Each structure stands twice: as structure tokens, then as C-alpha cells.
């Protein structure tokens, strides 16, 4: 007899118990392979299957079955890769069983589970001394900068003897540390780990990053002491995994307790679990062996964190030689043609039948995909948005049925501009709108000051640039901090003048006066560079801004998503091509920011995101943009030997393209520009790997769309207002 759940109705004093669906009800519609995975109960199993084959569906229905058959939710641990994916799983489980029936289940990310374990166990083991703070991203950046600048007295670190000619940036260093920890290495093995993970690095680079790592670990121990006098330390996100694993590995009592408190461990997106995450799950399941993993090695896209698609399968087989490998061949998500094309593409991956089998389509027919070549990103965006509008006009789809996917964040700009221009609401998942990105705002502040420093926007810009200056010149302009800004604001209010004027005419300390003179000289230089937006923004970058941003943040890509801060700046300069006059550019941007804010409030909106962020999701209509050589595959991933492209540098990029195409349920479009930021690009080499698309590729090459038909500055402003609020 099925057990019953308390219905979530909170209004009724007598809680109504509704029966939970039984196994047969939960298995409804599943095919025989999916049923096998769904019914698998004891022992280890790995469901290896292509995209859209129901891996997440089966995993969740299996959890629901276990609960409906009487397993206490608290004895089940479900884990996945991102918080968003975990939230979505939780929601889907509530739909299957209702909220209260699942109460107590451990469902979340590896990091979330580790944090929960550490908080409890450290408190039990060490009392007050077991307290720790999270070394979050902003803390990491601040400390990394200080270490690399050797200038932070506050942290009281030994001066790290970094190589004279070595260029280390914070992002690159932190990435090295993170990847090492994710492969299970602690700081005492820094050199070994880095040399293994980055075979291309020269010895001095390995040594430099290893030294950085040591200083970084010391900072986590020391800084907090100095600040609060409480003997607590900091753990970064990777430490959470590492420390939780060490605790389970080294403390027999704790390990036994957790091993005994869970009967079932389930992992989604297992192809992107790092080694340390895998070990965490394995140890928890060691006793009973009830580990259920689902994944698609063809979708492994986190190599930069030390994830390796083949290792997923090999580690499973090594740890559980008797474990079952279940294949789910049928794809339920996409139309036949999409499945055919995705199969063709991924067949070129260095992954044989042991790792993945072709997907079988269950849905036939479907519309022909669109393949189009364009002059540049601007023309591409205009075209894509026009196609989206046409489909919207057919009335079959709400906005949220559409996704625009790109490889790098910087590529969102043209599409944001075009969507705003067309009055179509959009949302960026897991990212910031282009004109709100920090470096873009910084550069536009310089532009504003060169145009008019005396308006309200000029006030804001001056404060922003002063803030940059105070960081940029360190000690020499220390007097430019928040206190100084308040002082200038007060003077401006008293004199009834602009912030900039108060800055110009105020009486300050000598060091401040020197810094202000410098600041004004810079603005003058930018102004004198020319009357065009491009000339002024380029001049602003030459004042040392590029160098500053590299020192601050590093020029490495973001979370494997290709874009660096500098690429956003290149993109900003490209955006100026339409606005010769700086004033027109500033008006345009102010409008775009206002519109984007309104757009973000819309509940029904087009989805914009990088391919990384799209993992696990699906939409009826997917537009994959920037499908060009050096964009996808991204130039940062490509490696050459004697002028020849090394094919293995394409592997992860190909998997990204496969992830992108397999997000589509009904329709997909691939488009690419011929030129990007003034450089000629060819179409993505992955197009040649999908012979079914060959006639469409050929047709696209014959009929590229020309440059976007943009109006002049003034006309554009009018058009903008027409499309307005
Ligand atoms: P990904 O690899 O992208 O994570 P996945 O393998 O996890 O995909 P799901 O997201 O579980 O696949 O399922 C893809 C789509 O197929 C969903 O819309 C799901 O509802 C549907 N689906 C899964 N199994 C079946 C089935 N047996 N019958 C009908 N639809 C199904
Ligand atoms: Mg899934």
C-alpha cells in the first residue's frame, strides 16, 4: 500500500493526507531503459546517455519512488552541479510528490552539502574555534591583488619573491589553485599539482603560482585574526569540498556517521564533477554502494576545473567494478533533425562507444534549422531578432520559449542592443547586462567626463573615476577614498556647483592635489584625443586603464566562458562604430540601461546566456550565435604546433557546441559573422562536421547579410524614443 503524504494545504486545520503516487504511476511513460534506471535500487549504477534522454527525469522519478516506497527523505542525498540546477530539481520533485513529502531530503550542490557538514562537524570538534568564514570571490580578488602587488602590509605576509619577468594575474593564479584543489591537491603539493594540470606552463610560472598559493593560504588563516581577534579562519569554495572530503576520509567516526545516515546517493551532471566531488560522493556511498550517477560525457565542459569526461567513467568502473552501466538511447527532447545533426557533431569527439552511443530520435519531422552568415555581429543580431519577432508574431510561442546562446559573455552586446531596439523583453541568466558591466561603466565614465563633467551623470562619473584612481595609484593617492568623496560632495553642495568643479577649485592636502591634477590631466588627454567616441574611448584605455583592469582582475577568461574584461572593452569600442559623436553614444547607453532594467522586470522574456549556463536546460527555439572560428571554438582554447591547429584543443569546444544544439526542442538556428571587432573570421569548423547541414551552409555562404542598416546618430535617437518606454 502506498504511504501517504500530508497535502501542502496550510489553511485546513485537519491536515489532509493524499496518497503518494506509487512506482507504477511514477514510471508512466518511461521506456524500458529508463525503467531499468528508475527501478534500480541497490548497488552502484551509472546512467550514461546523450542529451535530452531523460537522465534528470529518471533520477528524480527514482528519488520519488524511493520516498513513496517508504525511504525517509532525510536518508537520500541528491547532488548536482549548480545551485540553479539544484533548485530546479527540488521544484520538479515537489511537483511529483508535494513539498511536505520530500521534507528533510538533502538536495543541493556539492558545495552546499559540504558546507552543511563542515559547519556542524567543526563546531562539534572545535567549538568556537571551529568557526569559519567564507572567502568569497571579492575577498579572493582583494587578497590576490595584494599578494601579487607585494604591497599589503595589512595581511603581513612575507614578500613573495615572484620572478621579475613573470606575468601573473589574479584570475590565472586563483584558477590554478581552484583546479588543483578540485583534483584533490592541497597547498603542500602545489608544484606537483600545477605542473600536472598545466603542462604548457614554464617552470617559473609553476613556481610563481605555487608561491602565490602559499601566500594565499596564509592570508586565509591570518587576515581574519587581525580583523576580529577571533581565532577563525576562512575557507574558499574549493576548500569546502576539500575539507569536507578530508573530514570524511580521515575521521572514522564522522565518516561512519554520514555513511550510515544516507541510504542513497544520487548525482546529476556527473560528467562535470571534479575529482574531489567524485571522491566525496564515493566515500559517502562506500558502505552500501548505493550510488546512482547520471551524465553525458559528450557534455563535459568544465575542463578548466580539472574535470575529464573519460575519468568519470573510469573512476566509476574502478570504484565499482560490479556497478551497472545503463544506457538511455532515446532522445525525447528534440526533433529528429536536431538529433541527427547533434549525433554527427559529437561523433567527431574523442569518445568511443565505451563512453557514449548515438542518440535515437523519438520525435519525427520538425522545422528546418536556419543557417545564416552575416557581415558582422550587428547584422547578425538584427537578423536574429527579426526572425524571433516573426516567430513571435505567429502567436505560437511566448517570449520565454526562445533562447539566444553565445560562447562568450562579450558577445551578448549586439543582441541586447537589437532586442532593446525591437522592444522585446529579455533576461540574462547568470550574468550582467553589457552596459552594466564594471569595466564598461568605468570606460563610459571617462567618456562622460570628457564630454561634460558638470551634469548629474558627470558627478557620478567623476566619483567612479576617482575610485578607480584611488585603487590604481595605491599609496600615492590614498587620500582619494570615500571620506574624500564625501568632503568634495559637501563642498559642491555648499558652492552649488558640480562635483568636478568642487574638485577643481577645492583646497585639499598636497597628495590629494597631486592626484587631482593627474586625474584632470587624464581627462584632458582623453578629450584632446579627438571628437569621435572611438578616439576618446581608445585614449581612455591608453591612460593605463587596461593595465589596471588586468592587475585588478586578470585577463583570464571568466569561469571558462571565454570573455575577459578586455574583450568587453573591445566590444564597447565596436559598439561605438554607430555613434561618432560621444554625446550620442552616452545618450544611447543611458537609454539602453533604462530599457534593460524594465525588460528584466518582465516575467515573460527571451533568455540570453552563455552556453555554459544553458547546460541541462531546454527551449522550443534556440538561436546559437557567433558560430564562427575563434568564437566557437574560442581562440583562447585553440593551440597550434608549427602553425597547425592541434585537434585536441577543439575537444571541449565541440562538446560546448553539442550542448548548445541539444538545448533545442523544435527549432535551432546557427549564425555567424564574417568580421568581429575588425578581424575576419571563417565559419566554425564544426559546421563541416555536420554533413546534414552542408546544403544549408553552402546557401548561407552564398547569401550573407550585409552590414546592419543603422541610422545616423540623431535618427537613431528618434527611433530609440519611438520604441520607447
Ligand atoms: P540533459 O542531458 O540536457 O541534462 P536529460 O537527459 O537530463 O538532458 P531531461 O531533461 O530529463 O533529459 O529530459 C529531456 C526532455 O525529455 C524533458 O522535456 C523531459 O520531460 C522529456 N522526457 C524524458 N523522458 C521522457 C519520456 N519517457 N517520455 C516523454 N518525454 C520524456
Ligand atoms: Mg539533465
Q: How confident is the model at residue 591 (pLDDT cuts 50, 70, 90)?
A: very high
Q: Is 144 within 8 Å of 173 (Cβ atoms)?
A: yes
| Mean per-residue pLDDT over the chain, rounded | 85
Same domain as 445, residue 424: no
Q: Which of 304, 328, 352 is at the close of a domain?
A: 328
Given a cut of 80, whether residue 562 has pLDDT beyond it is no
The angle that helices 83-97 and 55-68 make with each other, rounded to 10 degrees, is 50
Centroid of ligand 1 to alpha carbon of 717 (angstroms): 45
Are 610 and 684 in the same domain? yes
Q: Of 240, 210, 290, whose CA–CA distance to 44 is shortest? A: 290
For ion ligand 2, residues whose CB falls within 5 Å = 55-56, 616
Cα–Cα distance between 446 and 453 in angstroms, integer? 9
The string over 141-170, giving b where at least 16 C-beta atoms fall within 10 Å of a residue's C-beta and e elsewhere, is bbbbbbbbeeebeebebeeeebeeeeebbb
Find the 287 Cα to ligand 2 centroid distance in Å: 27
Instruction: Mean pLDDT check: name the lowest of 334-348, 467-481, 679-693.
Output: 467-481
C-alpha 58 to ligand 1 mean position (Å): 8
Cα(616) to ligand 1 centroid in Å equals 10
Residues 449 and 548 in one domain: yes
CATH code, 309: 3.40.50.300
Q: What is the pLDDT of residue 468?
A: 83
Nearest CA to ligand 1 atom 4: 616
Q: Provide the pLDDT for residue 544.
A: 82
The number of folded domains in the chain is 4
The one-character DSSP state at 543 is: I
Statement: the pTM of the whole predicted model exceeds 0.75? yes
- Return the best residue to mutate from 29, 46, 57 for the ligand 1 pocket (most ligand atoms within 8 A of CB): 57
Q: Are 398 and 420 in a shared domain? A: yes
Asked if residue 265 is part of any domain, the answer here is yes
Does 442 share its domain with 524?
A: yes
Residue 342 lies in a domain: no
227 and 255 within one domain: no
Q: Which ligand is nearest to the CA of 614?
A: 1
Q: How far apart are CA 725 and CA 670, in angstroms?
A: 31
Q: Residue whose CA is closest, atom 18 of ligand 1?
A: 333
- Domain annotation covers residue 217: yes
Indicate which atom in ligand 1 lies nearest the CA of residue 53.
Answer: 6
| Residue 341 domain flag | no
Residue 297 has pLDDT above 70, yes or no: yes
- Report CA 504 to chain centroid distance, whole Å: 42
Task: Give distance in angstroms: CA of 301 to centre of ligand 2.
Answer: 14
User: Which atom of ligand 1 is nearest the CA belonging to 59?
Assistant: 11
Give residue-wise pLDDT tens across range 611-646.
Answer: 999 999 999 999 999 999 999 999 888 888 888 888
In a domain, 191, yes or no: yes
Closest atom of ligand 1 to 662 CA is 3
* Mean pLDDT for the stretch of residues 244-251: 92
CA 215-209-142 angle, 5° bins = 55
| Radius of gyration of the chain measured on its C-alpha atoms | 28
Of 556, 589, 618, the position where a domain reaches its end is: 556
Residues 189 and 277 in one domain: no
Does the residue 659 lie in any domain? Answer: yes
Give the distance (Å) from ligand 2 centre to CA of residue 630. 28
The mean pLDDT value for 172-190 works out to 89
Q: Which one of 201, 232, 263 terminates a domain?
A: 232
Residue nearest to atom 2 of ligand 1 (CA): 51
Same domain for 475 and 429? no
* Atom of ligand 1 lying closest to residue 31 CA: 27
**Residue located nearest, by CA, to atom 3 of ligand 1:** 616
Q: Is residue 124 part of a domain?
A: no
If asked whether residues 105 and 253 sit together in one domain, one would say yes
Active-site residue list: 55-56, 268-269, 299, 663
Express each pLDDT in 15-36 by its tens digit.
555 678 889 999 999 999 999 9
Q: In the structure, which protein residues have their CB atom closer than 6 angstroms to any atom of ligand 1?
A: 29-31, 34, 49, 51-57, 296, 299, 332-333, 616, 618
Helix axes 565-575, 533-540, angle to 10 degrees: 160
CATH of residue 498's domain is 1.10.486.10
Identify the residue whose C-alpha is closest to ligand 1 atom 28: 29
Residues 390 and 414 in one domain: yes
pLDDT, position 166? 57
Mean pLDDT of 348-354: 85
pLDDT for 227 equals 43
Residue 126 domain-assigned (yes or no): no
Closest CA to 377 of 404, 357, 341, 399: 404
- Ligand 1 center to residue 502 CA distance, Å? 62
Alpha carbon nearest to ligand 1 atom 23, residue: 54
pLDDT tens, residue by residue, 313-345: 888 999 999 999 999 999 999 999 999 999 999
Ligand nearest to the CA of 620: 1
Q: Report the nearest-CA residue for atom 13 of ligand 1.
A: 54
Residue 478 confidence (pLDDT): 59
523 shares a domain with 420: no
Question: Which pLDDT does position 193 carry in this prediction?
Answer: 93
* Position in ligand 1 atom list of the atom nearest CA 331: 16
Average pLDDT over residues 162-173: 67
| Cβ density class 568-588: b for 16+ within 10 Å, e for less | bbbbbbbbbbbbebbebbbbb
| 139 and 160 within one domain | yes
> What confidence tens digit (pLDDT) does each residue in 125-137 have?
888 778 888 888 8
Query: Residue 663: nearest ligand to its CA?
Result: 1
Domain containing 698 equals: 362-433+598-702
Q: For 166-175, 396-405, 532-541, which range has the lowest pLDDT when averaged over its residues?
A: 166-175
Evaluate if residue 561 carries a pLDDT over 70.
no
Amino acid at each position: 500500500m502506498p504511504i501517504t503524504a500530508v497535502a501542502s494545504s496550510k489553511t485546513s486545520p485537519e491536515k489532509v493526507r493524499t496518497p503518494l503516487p506509487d512506482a507504477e504511476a511514477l514510471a508512466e511513460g518511461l521506456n524500458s531503459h529508463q525503467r531499468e534506471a528508475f527501478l534500480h535500487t541497490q548497488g552502484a549504477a551509472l546512467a550514461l546517455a546523450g542529451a535530452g534522454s531523460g537522465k534528470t527525469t529518471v533520477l528524480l522519478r527514482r528519488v520519488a519512488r524511493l520516498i513513496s516506497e517508504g525511504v525517509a527523505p532525510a536518508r537520500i542525498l541528491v547532488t548536482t552541479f549548480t545551485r540553479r540546477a539544484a533548485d530546479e530539481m527540488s521544484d520538479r520533485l515537489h511537483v511529483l510528490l508535494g513539498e511536505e513529502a520530500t521534507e528533510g531530503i538533502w538536495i543541493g550542490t556539492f558545495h552546499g552539502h559540504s558546507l552543511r557538514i563542515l559547519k556542524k562537524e567543526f563546531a562539534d570538534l572545535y567549538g568556537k574555534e571551529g568557526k569559519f568564514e567564507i572567502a568569497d570571490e571579492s575577498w579572493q580578488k582583494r587578497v590576490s591583488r595584494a599578494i601579487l602587488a607585494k604591497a599589503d602590509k595589512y595581511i603581513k605576509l612575507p614578500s613573495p619573491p615572484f620572478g621579475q619577468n613573470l606575468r601573473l594575474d589574479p584570475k590565472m593564479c586563483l584558477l590554478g589553485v581552484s583546479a588543483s584543489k578540485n583534483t584533490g591537491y592541497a597547498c603542500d603539493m602545489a608544484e606537483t599539482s600545477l605542473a600536472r594540470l598545466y603542462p604548457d606552463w614554464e617552470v617559473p610560472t609553476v613556481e610563481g603560482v605555487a608561491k602565490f598559493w602559499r601566500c594565499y593560504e596564509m592570508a586565509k588563516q591570518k587576515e581574519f585574526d587581525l580583523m576580529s581577534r577571533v581565532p577563525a579562519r576562512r575557507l574558499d569554495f574549493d576548500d569546502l569540498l576539500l575539507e569536507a572530503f578530508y573530514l570524511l576520509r580521515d575521521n572514522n567516526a564522522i565518516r561512519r556517521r554520514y555513511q550510515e545516515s544516507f541510504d542513497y546517493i544520487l548525482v546529476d551532471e556527473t560528467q562535470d564533477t571534479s575529482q574531489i566531488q567524485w571522491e566525496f560522493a564515493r566515500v559517502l556511498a562506500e558502505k552500501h554502494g548505493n550510488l546512482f550517477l547520471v551524465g553525458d560525457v559528450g557534455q563535459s565542459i568544465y575542463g578548466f576545473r580539472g574535470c575529464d569526461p573519460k575519468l568519470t567513467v573510469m573512476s566509476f568502473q574502478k570504484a565499482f567494478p560490479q556497478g551497472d552501466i545503463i544506457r538511455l538511447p532515446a532522445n525525447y527532447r528534440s526533433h529528429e533533425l536536431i538529433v541527427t545533426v547533434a549525433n554527427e557533431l559529437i561523433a567527431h569527439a574523442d569518445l568511443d562507444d565505451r563512453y557514449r552511443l548515438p542518440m535515437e530520435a523519438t520525435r519525427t519531422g520538425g522545422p528546418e534549422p536556419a543557417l545564416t552568415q552575416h557581415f558582422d555581429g550587428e547584422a547578425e543580431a538584427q537578423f536574429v531578432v527579426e526572425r524571433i519577432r516573426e516567430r513571435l508574431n505567429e502567436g505560437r510561442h511566448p517570449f520565454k520559449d526562445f533562447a539566444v546562446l553565445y560562447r562568450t559573455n562579450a558577445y551578448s552586446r549586439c543582441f541586447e542592443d537589437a532586442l532593446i531596439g525591437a522592444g522585446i523583453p529579455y533576461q540574462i541568466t547568470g550574468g550582467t547586462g553589457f552596459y552594466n558591466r564594471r569595466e564598461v561603466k568605468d570606460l563610459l565614465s571617462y567618456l562622460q567626463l570628457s564630454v561634460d563633467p558638470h551634469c548629474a551623470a558627470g558627478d557620478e562619473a567623476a566619483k567612479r573615476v576617482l575610485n578607480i584612481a584611488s585603487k590604481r595609484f595605491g599609496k600615492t593617492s590614498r587620500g582619494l577614498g570615500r571620506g574624500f568623496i564625501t568632503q568634495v560632495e559637501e563642498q559642491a553642495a555648499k558652492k552649488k556647483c558640480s562635483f568636478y568643479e568642487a574638485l577643481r577649485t577645492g583646497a585639499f592636502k598636497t597628495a590629494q592635489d597631486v592626484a587631482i591634477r593627474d586625474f584632470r590631466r587624464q581627462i584632458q588627454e582623453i578629450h584632446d584625443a579627438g571628437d569621435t567616441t572611438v578616439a576618446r574611448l581608445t585614449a581612455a584605455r591608453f591612460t593605463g586603464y587596461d593595465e589596471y583592469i588586468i592587475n585588478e582582475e586578470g585577463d583570464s577568461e571568466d569561469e571558462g566562458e571565454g570573455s575577459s574584461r578586455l574583450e568587453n572593452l573591445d566590444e564597447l569600442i565596436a559598439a561605438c562604430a554607430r555613434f561618432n559623436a560621444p554625446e550620442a553614444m552616452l545618450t544611447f547607453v543611458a537609454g539602453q540601461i533604462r530599457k534593460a532594467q524594465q525588460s528584466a522586470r518582465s516575467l515573460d522574456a527571451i533568455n540570453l546566456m552563455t552556453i555554459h549556463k544553458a547546460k541541462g536546460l531546454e527551449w522550443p527555439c534556440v538561436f546559437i550565435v557567433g558560430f564562427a572560428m575563434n568564437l566557437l571554438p574560442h581562440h583562447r582554447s585553440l593551440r597550434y604546433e608549427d602553425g597547425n591547429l592541434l585537434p585536441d584543443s577543439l575537444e571541449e569546444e565541440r562538446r560546448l557546441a553539442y550542448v548548445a544544439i541539444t538545448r533545442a526542442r523544435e527549432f535551432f538556428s546557427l549564425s555567424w559573422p564574417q568580421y568581429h571587432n575588425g578581424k575576419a573570421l571563417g565559419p566554425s569548423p564544426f559546421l563541416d562536421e555536420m554533413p546534414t547541414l552542408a546544403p544549408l551552409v553552402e546557401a548561407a555562404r552564398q547569401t550573407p547579410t550585409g552590414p546592419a542598416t543603422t541610422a545616423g546618430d540623431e535618427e537613431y535617437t528618434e527611433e530609440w524614443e519611438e520604441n520607447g518606454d
